[in-house]
A = this chain, B = another copy of it.
């Protein structure tokens, strides 16, 4: 960011972009992860780069679901580690849920680098993929998971997920919370709860939601949440002017 002044109209987007490029240099983000980030930038741009009501509703539902899960797990890939490692560690503490590294394009060195960045931000144990446990319904490298983590989880927080794995987790009966800026993606459509927002904005809001739940209990009956209804609202926002 040395060459972009804070006054630049695209400063925040460029700051985030530099974080993801730094992730490549650190060996935690893949080249395909950079392209995926660019897709997210375009959808965020169309959304006016702000958190909409449909995202707030999904964040509220996600906080309740994760807080009430018996064995929640947080799945971490290279992009989210580059963008939000500190907040992932805070989420792990708030939920008492393990962090588990799981990446799309197989690379042992990248898995280890992701673990390192989480631990630099205060994570204790970080679960790693293991050939001792594999998900059903999926062929790729991503089927390998930790037996005490994603394998036995009842609810999984998987920001920036791929569609195949999201569908596999759902078919295994697990609840999936994802963060995806494209409301039309297979991930968005197959998750239990899809937060259509930039993960950099959504994670602090999810942490706030969990803090409020912990402080005040459940606040009675939560509002009904329907993922497809929220996705339809998100798609309308992408497709219409939001300036």
Contacts and interface: CB of A to CB of B under 8 A. Distances in A.
A173 interface: no
Each complex incorporates copies of this chain amounting to 2
Contacts of A172: none
A31 B42 contact: no
Nearest to A185: B45
A32 interface: yes
Nearest to A241: B239
Given A37-B38, A42-B43, A24 B17 contact: no
Given A17-B35, A21-B31, 4 more contacts: A20-B35, A35-B41, A38-B39, A46-B238
Interface of A: 17, 20-21, 24, 31-32, 34-43, 45-46, 182, 184, 238-241
Nearest to A29: B31
A232 to B, nearest CB: 12
A87 to B, nearest CB: 21
A21 B35 CA distance: 9
Contacts of A20: 35
Contact of A35 (B37, B45, B238, B241): B37
A107 to B, nearest CB: 14
A32 B40 contact: no
A165 B207 CA distance: 42
23 contacts: A17-B32, A17-B35, A21-B35, A24-B31, A34-B34, A34-B38, A35-B37, A35-B41, A36-B38, A37-B38, A38-B38, A38-B40, A38-B41, A38-B42, A39-B41, A39-B42, A40-B42, A42-B43, A42-B182, A45-B182, A46-B238, A239-B239, A239-B241
